[in-house]
Structure formats: C-alpha cells, structure tokens
Amino acid sequence: MRIIAGEKRGAKLFAPEDKFIRPTTDRVKESLFGILQFVIADTNVMDLCCGSGNLGLEALSRGAESATFIDIDEKSIELLNKNIDKLGYQEKSAVIKSDSRQALKELSLKQKQFDYILFDPPYNDLTLYKDIIEYVLQNKLLTKDGALIVEHGAKYIKDPVIEERMYDMRKYGSTYISFYR
C-alpha cells in the first residue's frame, strides 16, 4: 500500500496484518483519483469505514484541505493513526472512533458538510451500505456540488430511490465504484 500521487507520492503506508481490513487496491484507487484529479484540491473529505486511511490520505496528498476518518475498529484506528503520523497529516486529520451511523448523525447535528465522502464498507454488510447512502443523501452532509463515492462488490442492495441519485458507476475487476449526488 502506498500513496500514488501528490506531495507524498511513493510513501509506503502501514498495511493491515489481518484480513478483516480490506484496503482499496492501488489499481482502483488510482482510477478513482484519476476521476477526481482536477477537483480534489482544497476540499473537505470524509473517509468512512476508513480502515488504514488509504483513501483519505491519498486525498490529502493530492491537495485536499482536510480529511475526517471514521471507523469503529480499534485496530483500524491504531493503523490509521500510524499512517497519519508517518505522513505528517495530524493538522489536516480528524479521527472519529465510532459506528458509522452514529458518527454521521453527530456530524449532521453539527451541520458538518463534506465535498467528498469516500465510503468503503465491508462488502458483506449490505444493510450498512443502504443505510449510509440513504442517510448521507437525506441529511445534507454533502456540499452543493459534493459527491458520495462508494466502493462495493457485485452484490449490493438495489433501491430505486438510491439508484436515482447515482450518476456514475465504474467496474474494476470484481470491485465497483458508484458515485451519488
């Protein structure tokens, strides 16, 4: 795992030692940030179900102003903090150890908004996938031109209300990236 581009290009990240944390592959990450390359600078990003922080740290390296990282797993938070320290992004990072649903509710109550929410949930938790997408789209967590970007497997809950808000979907092997407004 490494930072692909930007000011920390080539920096190696601490990788998970167990299989419970599934980082986004470099191929998928490079494709995603190829799409975002001209719009990521000076944005506020959330990395939801962040694991090692791979996506949010890539966004910071490419010029995002700040990143909020959310995960409930203690090992993920420890790994994330090691990666933030290694890259020197303490000032640009906020780390929240919490259930995703609860963290979003608290941020919504504080009227926080993000330009991009990068959401890489466990592929086997289809309910979380649907709940988070619905919550983000209904609770003004995105700025006017913001986007929710979701990494998922081939199996996901297809809901007409959610699908109506999707404006793009890309496939990379068995991984999908869906974009919502």
Is residue 147 in a domain? yes
* Total domains in the fold of the chain: 1
Decide if 21 is inside a domain.
no
Look at residue 157 in the predicted model and tell me its pLDDT.
62
Residue 96, C-beta contacts closer than 8 angstroms, at least 6 positions apart: 68, 69, 70, 103
2 in a domain, yes or no?
no
Q: What is the CATH number of the domain that holds 176?
A: 3.40.50.150
In a domain, residue 3? The reply is no
Instruction: Looking at mean pLDDT, say which of 23-27, 106-110, 123-127, 168-172 comes out highest.
Output: 106-110
Q: What's the CA gap between 166 and 149, in Å, rounded?
A: 10
111 close to 138: Cβ distance less than 8 angstroms? no
Contacts of 145 (CB under 8 A, 6+ apart): 115
Task: Report whether pLDDT(17) > 70.
Answer: yes
Residue 143 falls within a domain, yes or no? yes
The 10s digit of each residue's pLDDT in 32-63 is: 999 999 999 999 999 999 999 999 999 999 99
| Residue 151 forms part of a structural domain | yes
Bridge partners (DSSP) of residue 118 are 47, 149
pLDDT, tens digit, for every residue of 56-103? 999 999 999 999 999 999 999 999 999 999 999 999 999 999 999 999
Q: Is residue 51 part of a domain?
A: yes
How many C-beta atoms surround the C-beta of residue 92 within 10 A? 18
Mean pLDDT, residues 105-121: 96
Residue 89, in any domain of the structure: yes
Per-residue pLDDT at 25: 83
pLDDT at residue 20, rounded to an integer? 64
Its domain, for residue 164, covers 27-180
